[in-house]
Structure 1
Amino acid sequence: MDRIRNALAWQKLDKLAALVKRQHMKDYFEADQSRYEKMSLDACGIHLDYSKNRVTEDVLSALLELANERAVSEKIEQMFSGVPINNTENRAVLHTALRNFSGKPVMVNNKDVMTGVLDTLAKMKAFTASIHSGEHKGCTGKAIKNVVAIGIGGSFLGPKIVTEALKPYQDKACKVKFVANVDGCHIHDVLAETDYETTLFVMSSKSFGTQETLQNTLTAKAWFLAQGTEEKDIAKHFVAVSSNVKAATEFGMDANNVFPMADWVGGRYSLWSAIGLPICLSIGYDNFREILQGAFEMDTHFQTAPFEKNMPVIMAMLGIWYRNFMGAQSHVLLPYYHYLRGFPAYVQQLDMESNGKTCTTDGQFVEHGTGPIIWGSEGTNGQHSFHQLIHQSNVPIPADFMFPLKVPNQDDTHHAMLASNCFGQTQALMQGKHFEACYDDLADAGLPEEERKRIAAHKTMPGNKPSNTLIFEQLDPKTLGALIALYEHKVLVQGAIWDLNSFDQWGVELGKVLGNKVLDMINGDIDTQADASTQALVAKFKNA
């Protein structure tokens, strides 16, 4: 047994799980009328109802004991104070410094990084103002009206879901589009709808060498020059978020329009940095600042709230319960808000790239389950597709429902229907519909007894399916910042429990290396070390 599973609280949870698996949530509510009050809390404009979970007070107590045994408080302190908890790359993990409004320094290698953070924010503010005011003009003297943001991974998903979620706050005079996939169809479709005179390209790559991002940017550059422009015009239409100023200027960009990115900012945690420039250009700097403010407030809550009232800790430990003690292998996110439809994909990268690991921080292979599969879709669409499996399969799938009490351009009829579906799903998953009730419903169907039983069995739903419900007044920039930070911190806590480095991504790196080798094969180099399958696939491509 590994040392994590040998923890006293872990063993206690093993025993509790054997009991809980024989119990039904409906009985919890019937036995305790105050269950909702005991198992809900508020933080940073978000209300969390976790009463519809397969947990007792004893389970919650043991989960928090496990958090203490696994030194979660120490891990939180280490992250915020700049200790290099990314111990495979010897880096601090300080995305929280990017939204640090405490006025206190954050030290890395005896240097206060807040000076650079504030300088970059000021630079982003000034540049955004120059675009929105029309001061920054393109090569023909026209103001910039369109932005094409080129990135991939965190430099794409973060800005994209934020601008999408905050559509009501977008500056209508400046439209932002995103390109990520190296599939040429994407960049060519975007360029086909682009006016070179009024378009700004924002290239986001820390190294200025990310394969997909660089190729898409080179394609955009070739297209731009094909419009009859000159090399000197590139500086007015291309800017970069990168640490490699030399490469950016050699590309043709103005060094003053290269926005820096520190090595202590991971890609999937980078929307708070200059990677968020497309967000600023879409919704304005003041709204971007509100996103940071919301995240900062969640940071403060995370650092100071006791574990029993700490929203990220509670959500993280519930996830541990299902993953390690109740047999769950996935977790579904269900935002009942159209503008938040991209959130599951964002958390998918955040969570799976962080905790999709099987090696502890000291290099030992784990014997326990780690990061779950994260998936989901917007409500109510999912109800007419995959909710069926959640309701009636024997696969345990904990769910997070999200719902805003108010929406832009609110139509009360639509919103009431949306609310009823969201809350009704949580109720249906919890209580289900037992065989006896289904059998009674068929009393007037005129069916033979055996047929009535057969149909009733098909209609039976066991219930006892767990869910959290997250409610907020409205999805404004501040609340969105808090929501994203909530899931970031959940990931940190779970990584601490599992003893993972949640801040590297060697699986991603291997894919890059082998992808480059295969590209060399496609371009003519023979790799005798490649397996027969890969060689055959390359041959089919070259012969097409």
Structure 2
Amino acid sequence: MPYPVVGVSPNQLPEWKALAAHAKQLQQTNLGRLFAEDSDRLGWSTFEVGPLHIDLSKNLIQQETLSLLENLARARCLPEAITAMLTGERINVSEDRAVLHTALRNGATLSGPIDGIEVAVAVEKVLARMEQFARTVRNNQRVGCTGKPFSAIVNIGIGGSDLGPAMVTKALYDFSDKSRDMYFVSNIDPIAIEEVFQRCDPATTLFVVVSKTFGTLETLTNAKAARQWILQALGEHEDAVAKHFVAVSTNGELVAEFGIDTDNMFGFWDFIGGRYSVDSAVGLTIMLAIGPERFRSFLRGFASIDLHLRETPLSENGPVLLGLLAVWYRNFLGAQSQAILPYSQRLSRFPAYLQQLTMESNGKSVRIDGATVDYDTGAVYWGEPGTDGQHAFYQLLHQGTVLIPADFILFAEPLGGPNAQQDLLFANGIAQTRALAFGRDDAELEKLGVPAQLRPPRRMPGNRPTTTIFAQRLTPEVLGALIALYEHSVFTQGVIWGIDSFDQWGVELGKELASELAPILTSATAPALDALDASTADLIARYRHMRGRPT
């Protein structure tokens, strides 16, 4: 059967029904018993995936569970889907595009041009231009219009054009050039860009404007504010905008109209989606921070997972198994959300990054063939770094009434600070996975001398599933591997559910309506509001009144 599978609802398949029956059977046991009854549990549930060690043993699964999930994956043509993605087939059906973020790091297996583009050659050409530019900035050859080197770099973007560069730059701060401050502006709340203006010197600030079309409302609004700020301070220099702005875009006409020299425009392609673009030219700010060599190491981390995805059997394939477990919890055990818990302060933005990657990709209710789904799809992803989360929401994980699978991301070596604290940090992480899995019953509480009447609130049911992802140290390569691990997990989920993980039409309607409403808010005369719903019309009238505009 070719991929994509069309006209077939996954919940009607015998493989799906077998999993539903298995889930009912498995709910009669618990993790303590599963460990006690299976001496080889670690043997079939732990894997080496690139630079990552993945431990699935504390999940609510048996070896049979993984076999049944693999059967479902084959019924949904997952191996064929992986090949289709990596070879450049147009699997983004609603936009009629290939999906080739893997080509950004030599992970694709293309046999020829895609849309007339020799992809590997084009990617390397852009990388080389990025590297040349980054080196000139980092060694102070590229300077502002007053001849001063740049001390601040400001990335202006939104969505994938902000979340990726912001998350990675923060995560890899210990590998970055500390002589320059890095800022990220995405929100059109005016205070967001104003805070940057207050902290930066126009003469030493470089703006990187990231927008594929160079027409994204939020990005262009902030970019125009930045241009005005530069011109107010440095307008006597004819080349102020050209010297202080570069673009990551494919729209040369609008870039030039803005005042940016198109020689300082770095492009990418329609087959690279925004939330999959951090390793493209969208990562220019990252390269400016950590340098070309470390950026290449970052790409190698992605490539190691691409290779693993391509060459490893489904039964041992790390990203595939993570994706299948997400389906297992969502569709067969009723989980509505997934916690991401990195035990690294540097990864504080990683849960937010994964929110976009997962929820924009798989927050869909229509199948790839146009049919409405009648089963659950994408879960809510959320999280905070440990140990902060332990004093915030872990109570619900331990004793709440909802099932929330959690991914714990742990490291052996610290990136800095008192070395002994890493031992305590790691101890907290694995202690939480142990407590969530096995809990504490009345017998143990009695041994501890807890009076009978005080035992119920101290009783921990356990049986709360966790996955542990473990690495030596948070390096550029390890971070690239982590991102790719989740990218391919998201893809796996989408294939099982039969949805297009690479479009995001749900984002577009709000953008269109905002463009229609903005002139109504700012018009010099009282606008006609009859065509709007009563709530929207009333809120607009109240807003205009508060802003001193006629209503």
**TM-score, with normalisation over the residues of structure 2?**
0.95
Q: Is the 8 A contact 1:204 1:241 kept in 2?
A: yes
Question: 2:418 matched to which residue of 1?
Answer: 411
Which amino acid is 2:336 matched to?
A: Q
Match of 1:31 among 37, 44, 48: 37
Provide, for residues 428-487 of structure 1, a one-character-per-residue CA deviation record: whole Å limited to 9, x for no partner.
0000112333345345xxxxxxxx444211111110000000000111111111110000
- Cα separation, 1, equivalents of 2:426 and 2:496: 35
* C-alpha separation in 1, matches of 2:339 and 2:275: 19
Specify the alignment match of 2:543 in structure 1: 541
Is residue 50 from structure 1 mapped to residue 61 from structure 2 by the alignment?
Answer: no
CA RMSD of aligned residues (A): 1.5
Separation in structure 2 between the aligned mates of residue 105 and residue 254 of structure 1, nearest angstrom: 35
Q: In 2, distance between residues paired with 1:374 and 1:53?
A: 17
Secondary structure of the 2:103 match is: helix
Give the whole-Å Cα distance in 2 for the aligned partners of 1:401 and 1:156: 25
**Please, which runs of 5 or more residues in structure 2 have no aligned partner?**
1-6, 547-551
Count of residues paired in the alignment:
536
CA contact (8 A) 1:336 1:401 kept: yes
| Contact 1:272/1:292, CA 8 A, preserved across alignment | yes
User: What does 1:50-69 align with in structure 2 at a 5 Å threshold?
Assistant: 50-69=56-75
Distance 1:231 1:527, change over 3 A: farther
Is the aligned partner of 1:113 residue 2:116? no
1:474 match: 473
* Cα shift at 1:306: 0.2
Instruction: Quote how far apart the aligned CAs of 1:289 are.
Output: 0.9
Shift of 1:257: 0.1
Find the partner of 1:184 among 163, 186, 190.
Answer: 190
2:106 maps to 1:100: yes
The structural deviation recorded for 1:540 is 1.3
Q: Secondary structure at the match of 1:147?
A: strand
Q: Tell me the equivalent position of 2:515.
A: 516
Q: Deviations over 1:256-289 (max 9, x none)?
A: 0011121111110011111000000010011111
Deviation (angstroms), 1:529: 2.7
Aligned to 2:298: 291
Quote the Cα distance in structure 2 between the aligned partners of 1:410 and 1:32: 40
Q: Does 1:141 align with 2:141?
A: no
Matches within 5 A, 1:65-76: 65-76=71-82
What is the DSSP-based 3-state SS (H/G/I as helix, E as strand, rest coil) of the residue aligned with 2:93?
coil
Q: Does 1:424 align with 2:426?
A: no
Look up the equivalent residue of 2:98 and give its one-letter code.
A
Distance 1:466 1:28 in 2: 12
Counterpart of 1:302 in structure 2 is 309
Query: Given the alignment of the two structures, is residue 132 of structure 1 paired with residue 138 of structure 2, yes or no?
Result: yes
Match in the other structure for 1:78: 84
| Matched residue, 1:222 | 228
Query: For 2:199, which of 180, 193, 212 is the aligned residue?
Result: 193
Cα shift at 1:520: 2.4
- Tell me if 1:328 matches 2:327: no
* Contact 1:492–1:502, Cα closer than 8 Å, also in 2: yes
Residues 208 and 248 in structure 1, CA contact (< 8 A), matched pair in contact too: yes
Partners in 1 of 2:296 and 2:117 — Cα distance?
Answer: 24
Contact 1:97 1:106 in 2 (8 A): no
Q: Name the residue aligned to 2:249.
A: 242
CA deviation digits over 1:287-344, x for unaligned, max 9? 1111111101110110110011100011111111100000100000000011011110
Q: Conserved in 2, the CA contact under 8 Å of 1:81 and 1:106?
A: no
Distance in 2, matches of 1:531 and 1:68, equals 48
CA distance in 2, matches of 1:478, 1:2: 39
Letter aligned with residue 146 of structure 2? T
Letter in structure 1 aligned against 2:454:
I
Amino acid at match of 1:409: G
Matched position secondary structure for 1:377: coil
Q: Which amino acid in 2 is paired with 1:181? A: N
Letter in 2 for 1:242: S
CA contact (8 A) 1:434 1:461 kept: yes
- 1:225–1:231 Cα contact (<8 Å) kept: no
Provide closer, same or farther for how the CA distance between residues 456 and 103 of structure 1 changes in structure 2, counting only shifts above 3 A.
Answer: closer
Amino acid at match of 2:536: T
| Gapped regions of structure 1 (runs ≥ 5) | 444-451
Match of 2:493 in 1: 494
- Partners of 2:383 and 2:453 lie apart in 1 by 32
The CA deviation at 1:530 is: 1.7
Equivalence for 1:531: 533
- 1:161 alignment partner, one of 164, 167, 171: 167
Sequence identity of aligned pairs in percent? 42
| Partner Cα distance (2:107, 2:73) in 1 | 28
Equivalent residue letter for 2:359:
M
TM-score (norm 1): 0.96
Shift of 1:213: 0.5
Q: Distance in 2 between matches of 1:49 and 1:102?
A: 27
Cα pair 2:521 2:540 within 8 Å, conserved: yes
Q: How has the CA–CA distance of structure 1 residues 2 and 367 changed in structure 2, closer, same or farther, with 3 Å as cutoff?
A: farther
2:376 to 362, 369, 374: 369
